[in-house]
Every structure is written in C-alpha cells, then in structure tokens.
Chain A
Amino acid sequence: MKQFFLLLKKDFTVEFRGKELLYALLSLSVLISVFFGVGIENAFLERKAVTRIFPLALWVSYIFAATISVSRSLYYEIEFGALSTLLTGRISLASFYVAKVISNTIFNFIAFLFITTALCMFFDLAVSVPYLFPVGLLVSLGYSSLATLTSNMILRTKLRELLLPLILFPLLFPLFFAAHELTMTLIIEKAVQFDSPWAILLILMDLIYLVAGSILFSFAARG
C-alpha cells in the first residue's frame, strides 16, 4: 500500500512541477471544441439537434485528448527508465499499474472537465454538469485501465503513434456506447439514473478492465 501511494505521489509531483500536461490538455480541449463549434454553427442546425450532438462531441473530443495524455504519461516512464528500474526492484507491478491507472484517471477527468466546460460554452448549453461528473469519472477509470495496459504494449514499437489508436479504440466502444447513452439521458431527462442498465454496465466494465489489467500488466511489462 505504501508503494502504491509513493508511485501515485511520484506521478503527481512530476506533473504538477512542470504542468505541461495540464496546459496541453486545456489548450487541446478548447481547440477541439472550437472545431466542433464552428462546424455546428456553419451547419445551421436547430437548437434541439445541437443539444443531441453534444454527447458525441464530448466523448469524441475526450477520447482524442485522453489518448494523447495516456501515451505521453507512459512514454515518460520509458524515457526516464522508471519501468526498467521497477522491473529490477521489489515494487509490485500490480501496484504500479493501479497507481498509473489512478493518476491517468485523474488527468483524464481533468481533460473531461476542460472539454465539458468548453463545449457547454461554445454550444451555449445549460447542461447540469455536476450530474455528468460521476459519468466522467467512471469513463475515465475504464479508459485509463485499458489505455495503461495497451499503451505499455506498443510504446517500444516503431509504429506506436499509429498502433495505439488502432488497438485501443475498438476496445473502447462499449465504454463509448455507455458514456454516450448516459449523457444523452442526462440531456433529455435532466438527470442520470445510476440504476439504469447503462450505468451498471459502465461500473461492471470498469471493474472487469481494472482487475484484468492488474493481472495482465505484469505479463505485458515483463514480456
């Protein structure tokens, strides 16, 4: 447990010292939202249609920003030799994986907050953002569990920038479906039902991917 908190502290110390990722995520979120905003404005859509496009714009932008964030996070581990050092030391790889998933979840959740705020502003929507927080957090956890595992498998390959989305995106689709449907429910019904099958599926996926990831990560890291 001590190892786990030390690893988590390391990730936050590295990030908050440089703040590169936070600035990058903020700029990226605003940029993507501007693209969506301009496209939608020029399509002369009705208000109702704009509202219905919001979940799609949100989760597509999120996947884009989160993929960049996760691959950068693990690239740091390899660039500075942290993973190789861990493999020779006594630190449990499952602890390393869970710590990495938690830190990635938090950074991805920050990206989610940036994107939601930017999109609500540009789309001129009054979405009950706090209701979306649990959805954002659950999606971030599922996403990070999968992305931390898969990005570790391709980081030392020549085609890593191309292989990561090709491997990760098909796996993300059930998460995307659940996130999209829950957000749509929030927009239409003004509340998220956490006993709905989509919410249960999202929680189930998080658990499955986190457990499977912590078992498989040690194999992936050691090869």
Chain B
Amino acid sequence: MANGSKSSIIDSLLLALSAALISYALYFVFLVVPDERTMGAIQRIFYFHVGSAIACYLAIGIVLVTGIFYLATQNKVYDQISAAAGEVGFLFCTIVLVSGMIWGHTAWNTWFRFEPRLVSFLLLWFLFLSFVLLRIFGEPGKIATHSAILGIIGAITVPLMVYSIKLLPAAAQLHPQVVEHRGLRDPLFTQGMIISMVALSVFCLYLVRIRFRLEKLQSQ
C-alpha cells in the first residue's frame, strides 16, 4: 500500500512537471520566439521535431541500459522498463518522422527525400518497429531475453548509423545542420530548442513510467 501511494505521488509529480514544462514550451515557442526569416511560422515545428528526436535517443538509452541489466540479473522489472521505453521510443520516432515530413513539404516541396539523415531516422523507426514486433510475435518464454539482445544490438547500431551518415558526400546532405555547424541565428531560437528538448524528455520519462506500470499490472 505504501509502495502504491509512493508510486502515485511520483506519477503525479512527473505528470505535473511534464504539463508545466510542455505548457511553458508551447508559450515560449509560439509567443516569444520570433519568426525565422526565410521559412516563417512553419519553422516552429523544428522545436518539437528536435525535442522528439532527443526523447527518442533517451528511449534508446533506456532500452540499452535496461537490456544489459536484464541479461545480467534476469530481473523482470528491467524487462518491463525496456518494453515500455521501446514503445515510447517508437512513438517519439514516429513524431520525428511525421513532423519532419510536414516541415520538409514546406521547405523542400516534397514529403520525403532519400537524404542520409532522413533515412537514418527512418531506419531508427524500423529498429523500434522490429523491437515492438519481436515483443508481440517473439518466441514465447524467451521474449524478454531476445528483446534485451535486440535492444542492445540496436543501440550499438545507432551511433554506427549516425557516423556512417556523416561520411556520405556533402552533396547528399540536404538536412539542415545549422546547430552543428554555425549555431542558431537568434539566442531565442536556442532557448526555445532547449526548453522543448527538456519538456519532451520529461514527458518521455513520464510515458515510460506509465507504460511500465501497465506492463507490471499485466504481468500480475
């Protein structure tokens, strides 16, 4: 009972923090940050696009760490957290792809280009999809171990994928790299990006926690 009430308090605190941060991010992005000179209002999708990408990487990190801990300890809790993070990561990866497509349609007049960075996130989406599919259709009784292994191998592949993309010729790189190369023009752009990144990361943690509790209830 004591554990249950402690969990509820943590859930409520995380929910309140996520709601407050997302509200502040929405206020900041739509009312404080100025329009970008060339793209105008549509550029505001950038804050949620990048924020979701960070949340996605956070989910991969959780899948990797819990996968290692599960294999080392065989503790079901780590498997449940890993399952939750995999599903939430899949959700955020979908948001990154969809928001990127909306942005791309306005900026490049096309929904999708086989540009290395876009392809890398599409592949990341497929990695999450394979993780979710393995959990649904995997070998009964071995799903936890197999998905932990897939999570670890998938997480190892992500930096290799990112590095391989950087090696591709500059002519193939269409995706903006302003953050890496020149920084953002206005300091308010940077602040907006950091706020949305923090807000979506906290929201990601909240969703992982809720999904984890559901997984726990299902196993009981």
Contact = CB atoms under 8 A, between A and B. Distances in A.
A48 interface: no
Given A157-B139, A167-B130, A223 B146 contact: yes
Contact of A153 (B119, B139, B156, B165): B139
Nearest to B127: A170
B160 interface: yes
A170 B165 CA distance: 14
A174 B139 contact: no
Interface string A181-205: 1000000000000000110010011
Interface in A157-189: 157-159, 163, 166-167, 169-171, 173-174, 177-178, 181
A23 B123 CA distance: 33
Interface stretch (B52-60, B104-112, B147-155, B195-203): B147-155
B27 interface: no
A89 B142 CA distance: 21
Given A163-B137, A167-B130, A197-B167, A208 B149 contact: no
Interface band, chain B: 20 to 34
Nearest to B130: A167
Contact of B160 (A149, A150, A205, A222): A205
Interface of A: 146, 149-150, 153-154, 156-159, 163, 166-167, 169-171, 173-174, 177-178, 181, 197-198, 201, 204-205, 208-209, 212, 216, 219-220, 222-223
A-B CB proximity, top 8 nearest: A223-B142, A170-B126, A153-B146, A174-B160, A167-B130, A174-B164, A177-B164, A156-B139
Interface of B: 71, 119, 123-124, 126-127, 129-130, 133-134, 137-139, 141-142, 145-146, 148-150, 152-154, 156-157, 160-161, 163-165, 167-168
6 contacts: A150-B153, A166-B129, A170-B126, A209-B153, A220-B146, A223-B146
